[in-house]
Structure 1
Amino acid sequence: MIPPKPAARPDRVSLRRYVQLFRDDILSAQPARLYRAWMAEFKTPFFRSYMINQPDLIATVLKERPDDFPKSDRISEGLRPLLGNSVFLTNGETWKRQRRIIDPAFEGGRLKDTFPAIRDAAEACIARLKTRTGTPVEIEAETSHAAADVIFRTLFSIPIEHEIAAEVFTRFRDYQRSSPILNIAAFIPLPRWLPRFHSRRTKSAARDIRQLITRLTDARQQDIAAGTAPDDLATKIMTTADPLTGDRFDTEEMVDQVAIFFLAGHETSASALAWALYLMATHPDWQQRVAEEARALDEDSDFSVLSKLRLSRDTFRETLRLYPPVPMMVRETTRSEHFRDRDLPKGAQVVISPWHLHRHERLWDNPDGFDPARWGTEKGRQCMRDAYVPFSAGARVCTGAGFAMVEGVLILSMILRHFKVTTVEAPPTPIAHLTVRSRDGIRLQLRPRD
């Protein structure tokens, strides 16, 4: 079967209608021509926006000249109550300093150190799911729980059942439900001093989350001072000095970073895992192959087992192609540019949409189909180099990209090692708010495998 895809809007709509559609779902707000276009222009009374799908233009923006195309402040307007000045939102020297401090915690060798905590979270997920067999399960809720557990175990060495971790998880769900993908300032430039009109519920949830993270951060700072802190990601980041200035993150800066680790590491992983399980349920032949491969987990419990989970890796990679958790990335021109036959003015928005790029009809074979085997073909490998950006690319590639691939592959394999998954209702409808999720959830049925 062809995996579900939202219907596109009519090619021409009013600005008011476009804003309404965008606030409801940014995917169905776009016209179908974007799946074939190399570049498209969108004009408003306040700014111009250009979506680019041409691989060499994307390479220019993300890899060759990233400093000339910083992240746009427009999209960040809706996220500032929670994320402050995290590495996800900053630009220039501030961003470079933050990455110099954060990146060492996610280097290859450190992934081995986090593997036991990821596996513990996966085992806890299996134990929870064993109590849910035989009846429909809203799988997005389960993958959200598992991904949050991974974050807290690897970052602060505490499970999701910890009092503060559980409260952060609960309040984050409130934040998701109350925060639209776009604030009004994303469409209408507003001066910094003007209020951003965030809902009371959004501001309350963000404030509570940050207060809870502050408690964890303060406690860890005390443990570091006492020499009793565990060797986890939080300790590594908090004790790493900027090699150029010698500065470390203060408490507020660390809270900003933990907030984005939770948003990016939890929300995106939960989305990808849920869609991966849905695709396995609708493609039982692939599910059986991944489950057989996952028998390697019975004999090998350390980091090296990942080298034996190749089908799971390709399945998870294909899931990220069809359902990239972050559907659009927005950059801004710092000077006039000339792309294809258009002049882009200074301050124009440059949109790179993994959702459209990964399904582009002129780049991919069978772009809407589920085919993990494509990654073993020459065409698939070329597209992975030129037209596959689930974690962005270049200097601003996601710090946790390697971490996410370890987590996703391991948890997917472990779930399919223990359970057969089947669909129980009509196909879900993908929509995009903070990430690509299903409009009404994804319900699957799990049965013990053997």
Structure 2
Amino acid sequence: MTAPQPPKPAARADRVSLWRYARLFRQDILSAQPARLYRAWMAEFRTPFFRSFLVNEPELVKRLLKDSPEDFPKSNRIAEGLKPLLGQSVFLTNGAEWKRQRRIIDPAFEGGRLKDTYPAMRAAAEAMVARLRNRQGQVEIEAEASHVAADVIFRTLFSIPIEHEVAAEVFHRFRDYQRSQPILNLAAFVRLPGWMPRFFRRGTRRNAAVIRGLIAQLTDERMHAIHAGQAPDDLATKIMTTRDPETGGAFVAAEMVDQVAIFFLAGHETSASALAWALYLVALYPEWQEVLSEEAIALEDDSFAAVSKLRRSRDVFREALRLYPPVPMMVREAACPARFRNRDVPTGSQMVLSPWHLHRHERLWDNPDGFDPSRWETPNGKQCQRDAYIPFSAGPRVCPGAGFAMVEGALILSMILRHFRVRTVAGREPIPAAHLTVRSKNGIWLEIVER
């Protein structure tokens, strides 16, 4: 019997005009891509407004992200669609400002802090198990994954559960924001002059303003608690009390709102996407959920030491991140002329790095479209993990919370499978589509049954 293949959008075999491509791109970035990109080392896309190069060759990816990152800063075209929510957060800035922000943020995510945040992370996972116990049957698991990921963020960042009034409001507003926000907007195709107004889908600006207002309320309360010597020792306190070792300055309140917004986006939205796909994959391959269920006996130890025993769970979560990278494309901009694969790359060109294509590249991976968590122990898997696996980016701009996300994903996945079996629902196969992250067009439906 042939093993089922994880769902993947049908790639386009034909060439399309720029404007037809733009319409397809707006509907869904993944299904708009031609099939040849899963084999190409590099592809050029020309428009009347700019030139774009999609880069898949590992040496070129390394050059962009690790060897010469200052020659290829983050493109402002991505920032255009996210500024209403993220302002001048570390996700969008470049140069000296970005370096200053990372010097303040990075210490909060150093090794020892993971152990400190683990109890809050585990409490969120246990709360999700309790919710699922009351919702057995057919469940839209993306919504549940979003709930627990948001709970983890609020517990570890502000020491409050998702049930807290402000936390709950941020979560519900962000869900509306996520549904209305494409990964790229018009600015991805046209360089708009500074004076021209930016247009967003209905509700985007309003939801962003409300979310930022609620975050400002939380940060103001925390600042007062810090000054009064009554603040809990969580991530928010750590970040708000860390000073730049070079300048001695700390984040002011307005800057902290920007940073908390990206922590919520990066730490909640991406984790929710990966967790939902991981649960779907083990439902599609039930032999793997039994392996993870047996391994999850390690969680009888409620200390951080149990995490090191969740090796298979980490492999499954890593494989979900390969097949469904939450951020399917990243865009850099050539700050100076360059030459890639005997092609001239003019200044201002858009350099597209696509985890979606790189992670499924037919000339790099064995069984690129298949689900195989054991691949990470093979020579090919180990080589590709070094050269062709970038779910958290790479180089200086690698996500500071990557280690946090891997612990969170393995823990919650194991906790769920320790208590429940998950099964696919006939007639409801998910179809991957990209909004802010890779989600399913109509949700991911699973049947949840208690063990």
Q: TM-score range by the shorter chain?
A: over 0.9
CA shift at 1:9, angstroms? 2.0
1:384 alignment counterpart: 385
Mapped pair 1:289 → 2:259: no
2:208 alignment counterpart: 206
**Is contact 1:325-1:390 (8 Å) kept?**
yes
Where do residues 2-401 of structure 1 align in structure 2 (5 Å cutoff)?
2-133=5-136, 135-298=137-300, 300-401=301-402
**Is contact 1:144-1:266 (8 Å) kept?**
yes
| In 2, Cα distance between equivalents of 1:23 and 1:357 | 22
Q: Which residue identity is paired with 2:358?
A: L
**Identical-residue share of aligned pairs (%):** 72
SS in structure 2 at match of 1:395: helix
| In 2, Cα distance between equivalents of 1:424 and 1:404 | 28
| In 2, Cα distance between equivalents of 1:60 and 1:399 | 20
**Is contact 1:37-1:53 (8 Å) kept?**
yes
| In 2, Cα distance between equivalents of 1:421 and 1:398 | 30
Moved more, 427-436 or 10-19: 10-19
Q: Which residue identity is paired with 2:14?
A: D
Output one character per residue of 1:115-145: Cα deviation in whole Å (capped at 9) or x when no partner: 0000000000000000011x20000000000
| In 2, Cα distance between equivalents of 1:371 and 1:352 | 24
Q: Return structure 1 stretches of 4+ with deviation > 6 angstroms.
A: none
Q: Which residue identity is paired with 1:120?
A: A
Q: Which residue identity is paired with 2:342?
A: D
**Is contact 1:425-1:443 (8 Å) kept?**
no
| In 2, Cα distance between equivalents of 1:129 and 1:18 | 41
**Is contact 1:72-1:332 (8 Å) kept?**
yes
| In 2, Cα distance between equivalents of 1:274 and 1:233 | 25
SS in structure 2 at match of 1:380: helix
Output one character per residue of 1:313-370: Cα deviation in whole Å (capped at 9) or x when no partner: 1000001000000000100001111000210000000011000000000000000000
Where do residues 395-410 of structure 1 align in structure 2 (5 Å cutoff)?
395-410=396-411
| In 1, Cα distance between equivalents of 2:264 and 2:434 | 18
**Is contact 1:51-1:350 (8 Å) kept?**
yes
**Is contact 2:179-2:435 (8 Å) kept?**
no
| In 1, Cα distance between equivalents of 2:60 and 2:401 | 25
| In 1, Cα distance between equivalents of 2:346 and 2:269 | 34
Paired residues in the alignment total 447
Q: Which residue identity is paired with 1:417?
A: R
Structure 2 gap segments, 5+ residues each: none
Moved more, 5-14 or 310-319: 5-14
| In 1, Cα distance between equivalents of 2:265 and 2:359 | 23
CA shift at 1:76, angstroms? 1.4
TM-score (norm 1): 0.98
CA shift at 1:109, angstroms? 0.5
| In 1, Cα distance between equivalents of 2:202 and 2:31 | 28
Q: Which residue identity is paired with 1:28?
A: S
SS in structure 2 at match of 1:420: strand
CA shift at 1:183, angstroms? 2.1
CA shift at 1:200, angstroms? 4.3
Moved more, 93-102 or 180-189: 180-189
**Is contact 2:75-2:332 (8 Å) kept?**
yes
| In 2, Cα distance between equivalents of 1:232 and 1:271 | 25
CA shift at 1:14, angstroms? 1.0
Q: Which residue identity is paired with 1:445?
A: E
1:441 alignment counterpart: 443
SS in structure 2 at match of 1:214: helix
| In 2, Cα distance between equivalents of 1:374 and 1:230 | 42
**Is contact 1:106-1:403 (8 Å) kept?**
yes
**Is contact 1:183-1:196 (8 Å) kept?**
no
1:422 alignment counterpart: 423
The alignment yields a C-alpha RMSD, in angstroms, of: 0.8
| In 1, Cα distance between equivalents of 2:321 and 2:135 | 26
